[in-house]
A and B are shown apart, each in its own frame.
Chain A
Amino acid sequence: MLIKTLVAVFLAAILTENYVLSKFLGICPFLGVSKKLNSAVGMSIAVTVVMVLATAVTFPIYTYLLVPNGLDYLQTILFILVIAGLVQLVEIVLKKYIPSLYKSLGIYLPLITTNCAVLGVTMLVLQKVTSTTAYEYTYLHALINAFGAGIGFLVAMVMFAGVRGKLENADIPKSLKGLPITLVAAALVSLSFLGFAGFVDKLIPLG
């Protein structure tokens, strides 16, 4: 049962609740860094790592520190500071111990602090704890959800990098060039993800 719910949470985070294409979180990097496949993959991996780490830290802080003391209104301010600190820490550690990885991922790290997808994940998993009734939503579910959200971001970025590669050579009206056509293309990619609606519930019936 536990495995089943974990798989359901993971698939839902990638397909039906895709953070970029159906929740509109992390649109700035989605539009800004998806021009080339390499940078799209680098950015997504950095985002995934930070998402999982941030959820791993904020979930216990919220459940065991803020809620028992009636301080849950501090959620926003605390989470953003934790994420900012965490990003800085990851940057320092990578720089010191894995310089090669820092060289390829490091450039994306400062931008992640203000990536709303990261803050969004840490807050949405906490909402799910109270709203999910079919099964108990645990710390493990939250981590898998964060990981799935990161992978979903990766999937969306890679797909979109492919679409944009094709757009480069397309002959389009002058005023549509650049951002407008990118957004229209994003609309079509997001349309394709609508097709997954209800997919996970059908595949893995719960409760």
Chain B
Amino acid sequence: MAKRSLWYEFTKGIIKENPVLCLVLGTCPTLAVTTSASNAIGMGIAATAVLVCSNAVISALRKVIPDKVRIPAYITIIAGFVTVVQMLVKAFSPAINDALGIYLPLIVVNCIILGRAEMYASKNPVLPSILDGIGMGVGFTAALLCMGIIRELLGSGSVFGVQLLPFKILIFILPPGGFFVFGILIMIANALNGKKGKKAAASPCEGCPMANSCADKHCEEGVKNAD
């Protein structure tokens, strides 16, 4: 990992390594909160804030944290920032707090944040880590917004609460619609990547942030057993 430009660190998360559509991380909030475009943006911004802060702190502490307890240490740092964001959202935007509900504290177990801590922030200096956090956060928000707009438009006929279509297909804002739209979006991403000759994520352990910590013994064994 030689010197790559800071601009690259920022932009890679948005398209090339989009955390949601290419790495398939953080699926739970992607499916759950995208019933409307404004919820999607709220979730995206909250997760981005946590991601940038935790990336910065973890990167600054990367030489202090012992290797053996790094995952618990990362989780504690992330949980701290999630609590801060939770209190801020509750204080300044109670409507978004109600809409996101349980999924706001659950940012703590969002694979994207732990994944970036493990794969990037623990190995790189503070500034690139922050940019990586911002890029990944923007990529996450963009993917959520895309899903949110599609589902809100088809499911309630509106975008950001502005009525656009005269009909609504309720199923799109119900859980099955979430799975369906997400599947179709990944299909489109695969089709676009396939033209450039890139391989799409196939193994369940490939995109999993825990893979590095458990790959040596657990994960590969599990996959082998499963196969």
Contacts and interface: CB of A to CB of B under 8 A. Distances in A.
Given A33-B226, A175-B190, A183-B182, A22 B105 contact: no
B33 to A, nearest CB: 9
B12 to A, nearest CB: 21
A23 B179 CA distance: 12
Given A21-B175, A27-B31, A186-B179, A179 B186 contact: yes
B28 A110 contact: no
Contacts of B106: 25, 116, 119-120, 123
A187 B183 contact: yes
B32 A123 contact: no
Q: For chain B, what secondary structure do more than half of its interface residues adopt (helix, strand, loop), or is it mixed?
A: helix
A187 B28 CA distance: 14
A110 B87 contact: no
A75 to B, nearest CB: 7
Task: Give the interface size class of chain A.
Answer: 35 or more
A138 interface: no
Contact of A76 (B71, B79, B177, B187): B79
Contacts of A32: 204-205, 208
Contacts, number: 158
A100 to B, nearest CB: 14
Given A116-B109, A120-B106, A110 B214 contact: yes
Interface string A81-113: 100100000000000000000000011101101
A45 to B, nearest CB: 14
B208 A80 contact: no
Contact of A190 (B175, B200, B202): B175
A76 B210 contact: no
B186 A28 contact: no
Contacts of B171: 191
Q: Shortest 10 CB-CB distances between A and B: which pairs? A: A183-B183, A32-B204, A187-B179, A180-B187, A77-B79, A24-B32, A187-B180, A175-B191, A107-B222, A39-B226
Interface of A: 21-28, 31-33, 35-36, 38-39, 73-77, 80-81, 84, 106-108, 110-111, 113-116, 119-120, 123-124, 127, 174-176, 178-184, 186-188, 190-191, 193-194
Interface of B: 24, 27-29, 31-32, 71-72, 75-76, 79-80, 82-83, 86-87, 102, 105-106, 108-111, 114, 171, 174-180, 182-184, 186-188, 190-191, 194, 200-202, 204-205, 208-210, 213-214, 218-219, 221-222, 225-227
